[in-house]
Structure 1
Amino acid sequence: MAQLLYLLEKLSYECIKGSLEKEICAVCYDSRKVTQGALFICIEGSNFDGHSVASEVVNRGAVCLVVSKAVEVPESSDVTIIRVEDTRYAMAFISAAYFGHPAEKMKVIGITGTKGKTTTTYMVRSILENAGMKVGLVGTIETIIGEERIPALNTTPESYILQEYFARMAEEGCDAVVMEVSSQGLMMHRTQGFLFDLGIFTNLEPDHIGPNEHESFEEYMACKGLLFKQCKVGIVNADDKHVKELLSGHTCEVETYGFTEEANLRAENVELYREDGELGVKFSVSGKLNTDIKVPSPGRFSVYNALTAIAICRHFHVKEERMKEALLKAHVKGRIEMIPISTEFSLMIDYAHNAMSLESLLTTLKEYNPKRLVCLFGCGGNRSKLRRFEMGEVSGRLADLTIITSDNPRFEKPEDIIADIRTGIEKTTGAYVEVINRKDAIAYAIHHAQPGDIIVLAGKGHEDYQEIEGKKYPMDERVLIQEILEEDRAKQ
């Protein structure tokens, strides 16, 4: 229960009908969830406009409507109609007030960028929890509240859901929350209504440009930059060529990290290591902190992820030893996730599911000079054919052996998708085999592994299902690997 005036106090609005002296029992933006005494926010989406059901929600019991254009309501109703410029923006502030401004009860860390968001959020959570704090997490894979893990629908949830999560985290006694902040989330005002204590920028690449996301790279960059008008301290990657434009008009203090001499926190003396099948990096940190770090995750981007996490956690006065311990244990499901089944070869699972991410991953792994680099992947059905050709070409060029298999075929024949990938590979001289069933393909990779090989299972990452003809069937690559090993033992 909340007073309507209290919910509206941080907004510019016009009351065009009814009284402002009302008690609100619920806040809704889904017409199917409207109950007696609710405030309903009319959101105009790409497929449905909430303004079109104004009359219906009033009949269901809504006592207040928040609108951005004219609506029709029953003449006899005493519904209050509040007009605002942007109902998504209004929803963020109304939701924050409805849940009692929970973000003010915790330290809120927001991480934006094209790559590195997911891994960095888990690293930060690992470090802060290792230092004795209770930390919530919101991201691409899941939301974590205490012991509860809620699978994610969007990287950044709708503002009402986000505020509800914050409220539950505050009730659980969380000291902080670390969250991924997508450009879509920023563009749609999902993170309005509160101030981030720390806003972090990892990097920017031309991704997410298209009719359903951002119209141009400039728009994409501008959306990312919104975070730095909504945080107290901004921590940014000094090595990224877009950083100055991104910070245009920022209202926060700024700190930098990276390899460049000018960065406030610098990484130096990077050394790749490979021990008993484990791949990782060692490096020195200098500037605002001076120490040596070891991360059991391969590549230069792992240095960036760890350095970002250190730059953040420094603000929480975490002891060096606690940081180092946590970085050795930090683990993200499906992001260069090492699966330790042999000391003779390396096996990992990664979410790389487009040409750009696959090229970055395979290029990184080649730096470890494997005997062979083996890449197993498929592509999703009812999606871009160009992605199949491109991923095939990348794997054919960079891997010594490509194992083409199924991903989520959806409503296409796996054989047709594999044929498209093959077209890309055949532009190169790379060797390949085709194994349609993904479990059989993984078994092939394991059974044909040679000492010194690096094998990457790409594309599925954290997913624990396979989508075939409209149904999602349970399929977790970790489980498949264990099944293969158990079947092998049973044959001995």
Structure 2
Amino acid sequence: MNLKQLLEGISYEVQQGTADVEISDFQYDSRKVEKDGLFVCITGFQTDGHKYIPMALEKGAVALLCEHRVENVPEGVTVLVTENNRIALALLSDHFYGHPSAEMNVIGVTGTNGKTSTTYLMKSILDRIGKKVGIIGTIENRIGDEVLKAERTTPESKELQALFRRMKNEDVTDVVMEVSSHSLDLHRVDGIAFDVAIFTNLTQDHLDYHKTMENYKAAKGMLFARAAKSVINMDDAAGAYMKEQSKGEVLTIGVDCKADLTAEGIDVSADGTAFDMLWQGKRYPVHLHTPGRFSVYNALGAAGACILLGVPVEEIVAGLTANPGVSGRFQTVRSKRGCQAVVDYAHTPDGLENVLNTANEFVKGKLIAVFGCGGDRDRTKRPIMGEIGGRLAGYCIITSDNPRTEDPEKILEDVEVGVKKTDCPYEKIVDRREAIQKAVAMAEAGDVILIAGKGHETYQIFPDKTIHFDDIEEVRKAFGEDCL
């Protein structure tokens, strides 16, 4: 392939050689460079790709794409310089794979909470009308019924474009993908033709990366500036901003505010959520298998996007009803003793508050909350989540999430600061398995145990190792023969 053609539309300076050179492949990981390949030097947070130029040359690279001038490169090797190689990598990848996103409907879902559930609600609707759906997200990537492992919420641009091409080659018609704020800020999704973008909500998260909520909001807003059509939750404080950023047609959703697509008569029970969806003067009864007011917003977002794609409303309602729920999202495990556990991915203040409020709508006894906070992430939310847990639960067990490189005891102490501001009785148990066992042991008939933070995850990350750990498995083991 000709490098000059692949770089069409990308501004660069020629430091050495010529862009009119044939390359066999391109990589941003020097270990994967092939003979006659292009090495794209990415300036990362942990290391600088420019340091690995010697390795790339050893492996046979004939061209380098850099972010600054470099020295001691042999004659015969092309050196090109761009201002931002992340942007260049994204556009280069899109060119290399033949602009695959333009050949399918691509729906991007962004927001702090609700992205995964919204994507699967959309899949249920689109499956129903005979579409072949691709999913890109936190839990998994999926091509129709084939499940692929997901390394991160939104893959790096090269892998993302390769996945799009594979999806198109396997006859996918619609791709529903979670779009993280990191992927927007780091240009992983540049070059993608988004047909519809959905905004769920914006609450505190990822401040370890974005530093301020304004930066976080601005990153999310980038999606709507490039999507052809947008679905915006106007009940959220950031909804007006996202609407301002939108370049195309906007369909608004809401429950409390005036919106194009709304819901009334919300009824939450342990078995799910019922409500009436209102669209263009007509009322459509909907039943979701996931309890919670937050589920209504997810459903409205998915429904709004499908309306913009031309799906009949009757099919949308049937698709929403058919969705069985998502792994690790308010997933219920019941016991013969009359108590039940709910496992949820809630790992932000707003997420924890939502699931606790939902559980309080149907709990008949005591609400026992088992939760913690991840290490090496935004520390300011720890006492906030502790206070939310103490305010809304009848008993709190503060435990480990993914400590990563931090001292687990210290993380628990940070959360404890917030719990102490309430009158809620609590205890700290560092070992998550022991914490779940303690909650099950103390639960009585009518009680609900909320196990929050990890949801679908099947691992736990420590400073020196990563172990298998699954909240659903653990609570089932703890219930033992009483598990239904």
The TM-score, its normalising length taken from structure 1, stands at 0.88
Does residue 400 (structure 1) correspond to residue 400 (structure 2)? The answer is: no
Q: Which residue of 2 aligns with 1:252?
A: 248
Pair 239,422 (structure 1): closer, same or farther in 2 beyond 3 Å: closer
The Cα of 1:11 is off from its aligned counterpart by: 2.0
The Cα of 1:367 is off from its aligned counterpart by: 3.1
Q: Within 5 A, what are the aligned runs for 1:476-491?
A: 476-487=470-481
Q: Which residue of 1 aligns with 2:121?
A: 123
Does residue 230 (structure 1) correspond to residue 226 (structure 2)? The answer is: yes
Does residue 66 (structure 1) correspond to residue 70 (structure 2)? The answer is: no
Does residue 376 (structure 1) correspond to residue 374 (structure 2)? The answer is: no
Deviates more, 1:444-453 or 1:175-184: 444-453
Pair 58,100 (structure 1): closer, same or farther in 2 beyond 3 Å: same
Q: Please tell me the residue identity of whatever aligns with 1:285.
A: L
SS at 1:227 equivalent: coil
Pair 74,68 (structure 1): closer, same or farther in 2 beyond 3 Å: closer
SS at 2:152 equivalent: coil
Q: Which residue of 1 aligns with 2:109?
A: 111
Aligned residues: 482
The Cα of 1:319 is off from its aligned counterpart by: 4.3
Is the CA contact 1:130–1:326 (under 8 Å) kept in the aligned structure 2?
yes
The Cα of 1:122 is off from its aligned counterpart by: 1.5
Deviates more, 1:224-233 or 1:358-367: 358-367
Q: Distance in 2 between matches of 1:245 and 1:208?
A: 19
Q: Residue deviations 1:239-295, cap 9 Å, x none?
A: 233333334454222221112564221212222234xxx243433332386411111
Deviates more, 1:378-387 or 1:57-66: 378-387
Q: Which residue of 2 aligns with 1:314?
A: 307
Q: Please tell me the residue identity of whatever aligns with 1:14.
A: E
Q: Distance in 2 between matches of 1:55 and 1:383?
A: 34
Q: Please tell me the residue identity of whatever aligns with 1:479.
A: E
Q: Which residue of 1 aligns with 2:206?
A: 208
SS at 1:236 equivalent: strand
Q: Distance in 1 between matches of 2:20 and 2:357?
A: 63
What is the identity percentage for the equivalent residue pairs of Structure 1 and Structure 2? Answer: 41
Q: Which residue of 1 aligns with 2:236?
A: 240
SS at 1:231 equivalent: coil
Q: Within 5 A, what are the aligned runs for 1:242-281?
A: 242-248=238-244, 250-259=246-255, 262-274=258-270, 278-281=271-274
The Cα of 1:375 is off from its aligned counterpart by: 1.1
Pair 451,283 (structure 1): closer, same or farther in 2 beyond 3 Å: farther
Does residue 292 (structure 1) correspond to residue 290 (structure 2)? The answer is: no
Match of 2:328 among 331, 334, 342: 334
Unpaired runs of at least 5, structure 2: none
Does residue 367 (structure 1) correspond to residue 355 (structure 2)? The answer is: no
Q: Residue deviations 1:353-375, cap 9 Å, x none?
A: 34443223213322335322121
SS at 1:254 equivalent: strand
Pair 427,199 (structure 1): closer, same or farther in 2 beyond 3 Å: closer
Q: Distance in 2 between matches of 1:161 and 1:455?
A: 39
The Cα of 1:33 is off from its aligned counterpart by: 1.1
Deviates more, 1:175-184 or 1:145-154: 145-154
Is the CA contact 1:54–1:71 (under 8 Å) kept in the aligned structure 2?
no
Q: Residue deviations 1:171-210, cap 9 Å, x none?
A: 2211111111112211111111121011111222343224
The Cα of 1:144 is off from its aligned counterpart by: 1.7
Is the CA contact 2:374–2:404 (under 8 Å) kept in the aligned structure 1?
yes
Pair 71,417 (structure 1): closer, same or farther in 2 beyond 3 Å: closer
Q: Residue deviations 1:4-61, cap 9 Å, x none?
A: 2321123233334323332221110111111112111121112222233334423421
Q: Which residue of 2 aligns with 1:466?
A: 460
The Cα of 1:120 is off from its aligned counterpart by: 0.7
Deviates more, 1:467-476 or 1:175-184: 467-476
SS at 2:201 equivalent: coil
Is the CA contact 2:268–2:291 (under 8 Å) kept in the aligned structure 1?
yes
Does residue 450 (structure 1) correspond to residue 441 (structure 2)? The answer is: no
Pair 420,229 (structure 1): closer, same or farther in 2 beyond 3 Å: closer
Aligned alpha-carbon RMSD (Å): 2.8
The Cα of 1:86 is off from its aligned counterpart by: 1.5
Q: Residue deviations 1:282-313, cap 9 Å, x none?
A: 33332386411111222221110010011112
Q: Please tell me the residue identity of whatever aligns with 1:45.
A: G
Q: Please tell me the residue identity of whatever aligns with 2:85.
A: T
Is the CA contact 1:285–1:293 (under 8 Å) kept in the aligned structure 2?
no
Deviates more, 1:199-208 or 1:180-189: 199-208
Does residue 183 (structure 1) correspond to residue 176 (structure 2)? The answer is: no
Q: Please tell me the residue identity of whatever aligns with 1:460.
A: K
Q: Which residue of 1 aligns with 2:193?
A: 195
Does residue 170 (structure 1) correspond to residue 164 (structure 2)? The answer is: no
Q: Which residue of 2 aligns with 1:282?
A: 275
Q: Which residue of 1 aligns with 2:422?
A: 428
The Cα of 1:130 is off from its aligned counterpart by: 2.7
The Cα of 1:468 is off from its aligned counterpart by: 4.2
Q: Which residue of 1 aligns with 2:158?
A: 160
Is the CA contact 2:134–2:174 (under 8 Å) kept in the aligned structure 1?
yes
Does residue 85 (structure 1) correspond to residue 99 (structure 2)? The answer is: no
Deviates more, 1:82-91 or 1:431-440: 431-440
SS at 1:24 equivalent: coil
Q: Which residue of 1 aligns with 2:30?
A: 31
Is the CA contact 2:23–2:38 (under 8 Å) kept in the aligned structure 1?
yes
Q: Distance in 1 between matches of 2:35 and 2:281?
A: 55
SS at 2:26 equivalent: strand
